[in-house]
Amino acid sequence: MIRNFKRSAAVIGAVAASSLALVACSDSSEDSADGGSAVELPGGYTLSGATGGLVAEGASSQQNAMDYFGAMYQEATGGDAYLEYNPTGSGSGRTNFVAGQVVFAGSDSPLEEDQVDAAAERCGGNEAWHLPFVIGPVAVAYNLEGVEEPINLTTETLAKIFAGDITKWNDEAIASENEGVELPDTDISVVYRSDESGTSDNFQKFLSASTGEWEGEGTNFPTDVGEGANGSSGVATQVQQIDGGITYVEHSHAADSGLGIANIDFGQGPTELNEETVGQALENMEFTTEGNNMVVDSDALFASDAGYPLILTTYEIVCSGGYSEEEANLVKDFLMTALAYQDEGLSESGHIPVTGGHYDRLVEAVQAING
């Protein structure tokens, strides 16, 4: 049975006190560290036996996943190897990865154009790879009293709602997409992120790519329609308090708040947000880069009608080569352990486990990381 637990305060304190990305390592071996629990790793991979601390930094959106993976990694190595992930934000993670201050970065966005060459230099002349590792679907969440059935919405109707062109829940456009559902004459109250947000950025990219009619862009959502709230928990709480409220928010926050989650028609009929439909979208992802460097083509993803493509794909940015042997072993051991735990524990942290072809792509890439 998989146990989800927090790292001990002693371990966290020891890692935080260290300024080194790599604290200590032992020689590689075929067996996991003494006392570690057996875990079947993908592709026949076995833990190297490397020990010590692995420091990474970056996006707060993947902190829950990193906590879970870190706990499983520490258990698998009997506590002899562990992760310390500092959720300082994507920008800081990328900057400190390029500067060689952390072994890998977590990021909602790929390296900036002017960081690519510097990252290669940091990696000993080797390419830095973007691995779309942590998947977070975005829900269109609402609060509509008296309506028990899930609401169906096309992407065009969604754009009109968030632009303020549709203002009533029983509007003809919504009613035609929900035949047989008695919709109330309730005002639609849009709630958006008032802070700069990668979720706002991606939701606007989605509205633009899927409809061709949305004009906003960037991490700030337009403020001329509705009201703002700070953070993911803030928008979910705000909608909880408003009959007729609607927002865009990471799925876990919508589910935890007990909000309705719309079925979105991306072009193939109303699609429920679940692991299967997100997996279908992942299978059809396209990339702007080649090989094991997987920068997601977000325009193609958000314009797709395969599965549920309204998802945030956050990266682990790693060196393809140029690590010391010890660093390479720690990175590969951790990432392979994380791939072994694409399961209910990860779902409970608010993320969707990767499966199928995308899982296989990640396994191949991690195995190819060199010292």
Q: What is the pLDDT of residue 129?
A: 98
Considering the domain architecture, whether residues 325 and 227 belong to the same structural domain is answered as no
| Phi-psi group of 350: left, alpha or beta (phi > 0 → left; psi -120 to 50 → alpha; rest → beta) | left
Q: Which helix (H) or strand (E) holds 199?
A: helix 198-211
Considering the domain architecture, whether residues 24 and 107 belong to the same structural domain is answered as yes
Q: Which helix (H) or strand (E) holds 63?
A: helix 63-76
Q: How many domains does the chain have?
A: 2
The Cα 206–Cα 208 span in angstroms is 5
Q: Is the pLDDT of residue 16 over 50?
A: no
Q: What is the pLDDT of residue 24?
A: 37
Share of the chain above pLDDT 90, in %: 73
Q: Which residues contact 160 (CB under 8 A, 6 or more apart)?
A: 166, 173
Domain C-terminal end among 277, 308, 328 = 277
The pLDDT tens digits for 232-283 are 889 999 999 999 999 999 888 898 899 999 999 999 999 999 989 998 999 8
Domain C-terminal end among 219, 253, 277 = 277
**Residue 253's CATH number:** 3.40.190.10
**Exposure class string for 316-349: b at 16+ Cβ within 10 A, else e:** bbbbbbbbeebbbbbbbbbbbbbbbbbeebbeeb
Considering the domain architecture, whether residues 35 and 122 belong to the same structural domain is answered as yes
Considering the domain architecture, whether residues 120 and 172 belong to the same structural domain is answered as no
Instruction: Band the pLDDT of 60: cuts 50, 70, 90.
Output: confident
- Among 66, 106, 62, 87, smallest CA distance to 250 is for 62
Q: What is the pLDDT of residue 219?
A: 83
- Among 75, 72, 260, smallest CA distance to 150 is for 260
The pLDDT tens digits for 121-178 are 999 999 999 999 999 899 999 999 999 999 999 999 999 999 999 999 999 999 999 9
Is 311 inside a domain boundary?
no
Instruction: Band the pLDDT of 69: cuts 50, 70, 90.
Output: very high
Q: What is the pLDDT of residue 298?
A: 92
Angle between helices 325-340 and 63-76 (to 10 degrees): 110
**Residue 114 sits in which domain range?**
9-127+320-367
Using only C-alpha atoms, what is the Rg of the chain?
22
Q: Which pTM does this prediction carry?
A: 0.78
The Cα 357–Cα 147 span in angstroms is 38
Considering the domain architecture, whether residues 178 and 242 belong to the same structural domain is answered as yes
Please give the residue that has the higher pLDDT: either 363 or 3: 363
The pLDDT tens digits for 171-192 are 999 999 999 999 999 999 999 9
Is 303 inside a domain boundary?
no
Ranges 12-16, 157-161, 331-335: which has the least confidence: 12-16
Q: Is the pLDDT of residue 322 over 60?
A: yes
Average pLDDT over residues 186-208: 92
Considering the domain architecture, whether residues 142 and 268 belong to the same structural domain is answered as yes
Q: What is the pLDDT of residue 38?
A: 59
Q: What is the pLDDT of residue 2?
A: 26
Domain C-terminal end among 223, 243, 277 = 277
Ranges 87-91, 244-248, 303-307: which has the least confidence: 87-91
Q: What is the pLDDT of residue 199?
A: 87
Q: How many C-beta atoms lie closer than 10 Å to residue 197's C-beta?
A: 23
Considering the domain architecture, whether residues 153 and 268 belong to the same structural domain is answered as yes
Average pLDDT over residues 274-300: 93
Instruction: Band the pLDDT of 13: cuts 50, 70, 90.
Output: very low
Please give the residue that has the higher pLDDT: either 262 or 37: 262
Considering the domain architecture, whether residues 159 and 226 belong to the same structural domain is answered as yes
DSSP 350: T
Q: What is the pLDDT of residue 98?
A: 97
How high is the mean pLDDT of the chain? 88
Q: What is the pLDDT of residue 35?
A: 42
The Cα 29–Cα 40 span in angstroms is 16
Considering the domain architecture, whether residues 228 and 271 belong to the same structural domain is answered as yes
Is 224 inside a domain boundary?
yes
Considering the domain architecture, whether residues 152 and 272 belong to the same structural domain is answered as yes
Instruction: Band the pLDDT of 96: cuts 50, 70, 90.
Output: very high
